[in-house]
């Protein structure tokens, strides 16, 4: 990451010096600016950039130079694709900081992110925070996100501001504005108390819906005993109950299998852990496990209601401080892994603002739909996810869904 930051600084310094030389400025103004370029990092909130932003001829020239740099990077086939994406996004953010009316640059960013994420980018009047997290995952540059954070604070959007702050602190813990932002957010973030009653023991005779984490613990287990004796593993979970999964869990598991296979391509040791010799072999093995799992655990198709989703979101949104605590616990758990920062940013990107991951919200909506459409049967959630366990009382009281913990 240090190489990236240094490269970014050199690009900015070189372009700014060129712009300054080509413009006529008073010597008294020019010398301190050149001195700042030599002695400090060029950052959007530095005096230098603020000066450029406020001098129209200099800003116009700077934007033209940066747009030219974008085109040059785009045409250079010798730059690795990830690096090209990084450089172009950094320059796009710099242009937008100088002039946020540049809609063509916003559109260009959307196309860059779509190419990076290998998925269609949904155009919107204002990009979602998830978009900015994915951008930071690629660039490790939080300058533009910091600007968004300031705007969220100005508008009193405290949950979103807190989400942005968590990301900035991860990437730039020594950012000079962190203490000021944190104090402002802490004093305004809603502090509703979350009531919690101890969770009941798992009863018998229930229909339990497994969450994604439980299914993945079986499908992704590196122990081949799962292949030969899946009944034994599931027996520990069933405990005299019927168990099912929903279509949203199935889709999440499929996506995670694909992610596991993609990671194995770059980490041969992971393939060795599974006892396979190629990503294709790993894909066949994990898909086979999922097929055998589905022979014993039915998959229910549900029709989720948008009103239920909004009710779930409203419930969680009332308790941002608890959501921050849960997210921080999950991030701390990642510290033991290699590339911890990258993994943490991926974990944050899976959430919508401070809310639990979208798959968790869909699963709760699935359960609400099942309980509404099946009056003669009651479906309960079996989980070991803190996003469900810490909210189990609220989920039961407000959503009508009983939550049981796999680990009592």
pLDDT in tens, 320-367: 999 999 999 999 988 777 678 888 988 898 888 899 998 999 999 999
Residues 383, 265 within the same domain = yes
**Strand 379-383 vs strand 242-246: parallel, antiparallel, or unpaired?**
unpaired
Contact status, residue 324 vs residue 109, Cβ threshold 8 Å: no
% of the chain at pLDDT higher than 70: 76
Mean pLDDT for all residues in the chain: 79
Residues 213, 318 within the same domain = yes
Residues 174, 118 within the same domain = no
pLDDT (average), residues 115-143: 65
Domain extent, residue 306, equals 192-408
Place of tokens 């019927």: 242
Of 131, 157, 189, the one marking the end of a domain is 189
Query: pLDDT band at 112, cuts 50/70/90?
Result: confident
Residues 339, 367 within the same domain = yes
Of 155, 189, 223, the one marking the end of a domain is 189
Residue 46 has a pLDDT of 55
Q: Name 130's Cβ contacts closer than 8 Å, sequence gap at least 6.
A: 349, 352
Residue 363 has a pLDDT of 95
pLDDT (average), residues 159-171: 93
pLDDT (average), residues 49-68: 77
pLDDT (average), residues 263-286: 85
pTM of the model: 0.69
Residues 9, 150 within the same domain = no
Residues 49, 147 within the same domain = no
**Strand 299-300 vs strand 242-246: parallel, antiparallel, or unpaired?**
parallel
pLDDT (average), residues 381-400: 92
Query: Into how many domains does the chain fold?
Result: 3
């Amino acid at each position: 990451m240090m190489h990236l930051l240094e490269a970014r600084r050199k690009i900015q310094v070189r372009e700014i010096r060129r712009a300054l030389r080509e413009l006529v400025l008073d010597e008294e103004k020019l010398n301190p600016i050149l001195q700042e370029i030599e002695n400090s990092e060029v950052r959007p909130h530095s005096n230098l950039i603020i000066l450029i932003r406020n001098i129209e001829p200099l800003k116009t020239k700077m934007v033209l130079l940066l747009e030219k740099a974008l085109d040059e990077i785009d045409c250079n086939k010798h730059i690795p694709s990830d690096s090209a994406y990084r450089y172009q996004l950094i320059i796009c953010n710099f242009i937008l900081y100088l002039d946020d009316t540049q809609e063509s640059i916003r559109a260009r960013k959307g196309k860059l992110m779509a190419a990076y994420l290998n998925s269609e980018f949904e155009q919107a009047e204002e990009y979602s925070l998830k978009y900015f997290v994915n951008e930071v995952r690629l660039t490790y540059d939080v300058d533009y996100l910091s600007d968004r954070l300031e705007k969220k604070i100005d508008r009193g959007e405290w949950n979103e501001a807190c989400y942005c702050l968590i990301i900035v602190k991860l990437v730039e813990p020594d950012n000079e504005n962190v203490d000021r932002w944190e104090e402002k957010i802490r004093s305004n973030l809603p502090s509703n108390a979350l009531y919690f009653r101890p969770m009941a023991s798992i009863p018998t005779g229930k229909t339990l819906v497994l969450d994604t984490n439980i299914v993945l613990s079986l499908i992704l287990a590196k122990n081949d005993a799962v292949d030969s004796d899946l009944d034994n593993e599931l027996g520990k979970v069933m405990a005299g109950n019927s168990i099912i999964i929903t279509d949203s869990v199935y889709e999440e598991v499929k996506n995670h299998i694909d992610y596991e296979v993609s990671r194995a391509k770059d980490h041969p040791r992971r393939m060795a852990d599974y006892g396979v010799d190629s990503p294709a072999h790993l894909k066949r093995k994990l898909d086979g496990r999922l097929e055998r799992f589905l022979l014993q655990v039915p998959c229910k198709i549900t029709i989720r209601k948008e009103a239920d989703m909004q009710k779930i979101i409203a419930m969680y949104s009332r308790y941002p401080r608890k959501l921050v605590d849960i997210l921080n616990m999950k991030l701390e758990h990642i510290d033991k892994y290699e590339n911890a920062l990258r993994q943490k940013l991926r974990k944050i990107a899976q959430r919508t603002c401070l809310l639990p991951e979208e798959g968790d919200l869909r699963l709760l909506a699935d359960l609400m739909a099942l309980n509404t459409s099946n009056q003669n049967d009651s479906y309960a959630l079996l989980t070991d996810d803190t996003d469900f366990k810490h909210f189990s009382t609220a989920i039961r009281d407000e959503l009508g869904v009983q939550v049981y913990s796999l680990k009592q």
